[in-house]
Amino acid sequence: MTQQQIHLAVALDGAGWHQAAWREPDAVAAAELFGAAYWLDQVRRAEEAALDFVTFEDGLPLQPDGQVRGRLDASLIAARVAPLTSHVGLVPTITTTHTEPFHVSKVLATLDYASTGRAGWRPRLGALGEVGLPGAPRDEAPLFGRRTPVPYVELFAEAADHVEVVRRLWDSWEDDAEIRDAATGRFVDREKLHYIDFTGPHFSVRGPSITPRPPQGQPPVIALAHQSDAYTFAARSADVVLVTPQSTGGIAPIVQEIRTAQAAAGRAEQPLLVFGEFVVFLDEDPKAAIARKERLDETAGEAFRSDAPVFVGSPDELAEQLELWAQYGLDGFRLRPAAVPHDLDAITTRLVPRLRELGLFRQAYTADTLRGHLGLERPANRYAAVAAA
């Protein structure tokens, strides 16, 4: 039987996901976390291993003490590495709670142009998520000021509206809108530019975008989800949903809940990939991985905790675990290296070759776009369909 191949992504954040990662002897100097070279180096490692995509974490508040503090805008890091890479998907995190959908849409469309079809987006709610855990977001609203705060229960609905507007704006130009017709003097065919006329409780947007439809048409939307509200949001709005079951037994109920929500949203026929998440501590000798995690915890002064399951062991063991978990209904995984460069290297130079031996991962890229890596067709333009009907 041919093994189903899995998708693989890595999540880049600071010096890695363990709060003491920056104190490791092989960690880069702290100042380099705020320069382009460090990010380019990590993305190139991911690309050499033919990973589907990398995500760039982001958040508006300053992180609490006891970890890396300060960060650059994720979409600009992605743009900075785009011209110097050629295949790997680039997925910045951008909040939906405080940003303008009009800006976000053109940021991602432009990232898609700069990367020739490799942009994705991880929408994130403001001041929500890993509540109570180390690195938990602080309240973001005071940073932005006077805008009437949206009640917590409405944040997901607002996020869904935000994504809807972004997606409509991507489609607000048909692919062949630019005609450069010297005979009539027209640069565009205005019949192929569309007002989106979105009206919702939190904002209204007229359109069209100022940026033409991006190369992928619709860059993939990738949502992290831990519970029902988020599953519903992802089912309605995302192309990939990242989930955090703690055991194989937790997978099926989550996938079922997502599929039900997908059907309820009228998207049953649309592809929605489900990825599992792991924070990974990897060493050839599993005992070394355990010891390293203990050492990091000791350095930090507290045990590592995460919203995602934590894997401590060898790359070979992880490969087996990914194979097993995939059989329970996951299409792929996003791995969070506990410490960079150590765990990122273990993923790209040890885990990936092992997955290839098992027939679970591509030998090389077979597509040039992020949608292509994910097996997603380039979608038709919703407005072109209406116009043709």
Partner 1 sequence: MSTEPDRTSKPRKQIHLAAHFPGVNNTTVWSDPRSGSHIRFDSFRRFAQIAERAKFDFLFLAEGLRLREQNGEIYDLDVVGRPDTFTVLAALAAVTDRLGLAGTINSTFNEPYEVARQFASLDHLSAGRAAWNVVTSWDAFTGENFRRGGYLEQDQRYERARSFLHATQTLFDSWHGDEIADDKATGAFLAEPEPGRFSVHDAFFDIEGQFNVPRSPQGRPVIFQAGDSEQGREFAAAEADAIFSRHGTKDAGQAFYADVKDRMAKYGRDRDQLKVLPAATFVLGETDAEAQELAKEIRHQQVSGQTAIRFLEQLWNRDLSSYDPDGPLPEIDPDLGEHTVARGRASVRMHRDPLETAREWRELAERKNYSIRELIIEVTGRQNFIGSARTIADTLDDYVQSDASDGFILVPHITPDGLGEFADKVVPLLQEKGVFRTEYEGTTLREHLGLRPLPRRDARSTAAEPTVSQTPEGVAA
Considering only residues 80 through 99, tell me which ones interact with partner 1, judged by CB under 8 A.
80-84, 98-99
199 is an interface residue for partner 1 by CB under 8 A:
no
**Which listed residue (5, 116, 248, 321) binds partner 1 by CB under 8 A?**
116
306 is an interface residue for partner 1 by CB under 8 A:
no
Binders in 210-229 for partner 1, by CB under 8 A: 210-212
335 is an interface residue for partner 1 by CB under 8 A:
no
93 is in an annotated binding site: yes
384 is an interface residue for partner 1 by CB under 8 A:
no
**Which listed residue (17, 22, 231, 333) binds partner 1 by CB under 8 A?**
22
Q: Residues binding partner 1: what is the number (CB under 8 A)? A: 81
Please, what is the end-to-end C-alpha distance for the chain in angstroms?
Answer: 43
Nearer to partner 1, 78 or 330 (CB): 78
The interface region with partner 1, picked from 112-120, 125-133, 289-297, 303-311 by CB under 8 A, is 112-120
Binders in 35-74 for partner 1, by CB under 8 A: 35-36, 40, 59-63, 65-73
Tell me how far, at minimum, the Cβ of 102 lies from partner 1, in Å. Answer: 5
The interface region with partner 1, picked from 17-25, 124-132, 248-256, 323-331 by CB under 8 A, is 17-25
Binders in 231-260 for partner 1, by CB under 8 A: none
Tell me how far, at minimum, the Cβ of 343 lies from partner 1, in Å. Answer: 18
365 is an interface residue for partner 1 by CB under 8 A:
no
Nearer to partner 1, 38 or 361 (CB): 38
Binders in 167-196 for partner 1, by CB under 8 A: 173, 178, 180, 182, 185-190, 193
Nearer to partner 1, 251 or 338 (CB): 338
Beta bridge partner(s), residue 11:
55
Residue 315 token pair: 């790359």
Nearer to partner 1, 26 or 285 (CB): 26
Which three-class secondary structure string do you get for the chain? CCCCCCEEEEEECCCCCCCCHHHCCCCCCHHHHHCHHHHHHHHHHHHHCCCCEEEECCCCCCCCCCCCCCCCCHHHHHHHHHHHCCCCEEEEEEECCCCCHHHHHHHHHHHHHHCCCCECEEEECCCCCCCCCCCCCCCCHHHHCCCCCCCHHHHHHHHHHHHHHHHHHHHCECCCCEEEECCCCEEECHHHECCCCEECCCCEECCCCCCCCCCCCCCCEEEEECCHHHHHHHHHHCCEEEECCCCHHHHHHHHHHHHHHHHHCCCCCCCCEEEEEEEEEECCCHHHHHHHHHHHHHHHCCCCCCCCCEEEECHHHHHHHHHHHHHCCCCEEEEEECCCCHHHHHHHHHHHHHHHHCCCCCCCCCCCCHHHHHCCCCCCCHHHHHHHC
* 324 within 8 A of 4, measured Cβ to Cβ: no
Nearer to partner 1, 208 or 313 (CB): 208
Binders in 130-169 for partner 1, by CB under 8 A: 138, 142-147
Tell me how far, at minimum, the Cβ of 381 lies from partner 1, in Å. Answer: 15
**Which listed residue (89, 208, 313, 341) binds partner 1 by CB under 8 A?**
208
Query: Taking Cα atoms as reference points, which of 115, 228, 116, 230 lies closest to residue 163?
Result: 230
58 is in an annotated binding site: yes
Nearer to partner 1, 172 or 314 (CB): 172
> What residue numbers does the annotated binding site for FMN cover?
58, 93
Residues within the annotated binding site? 58, 93
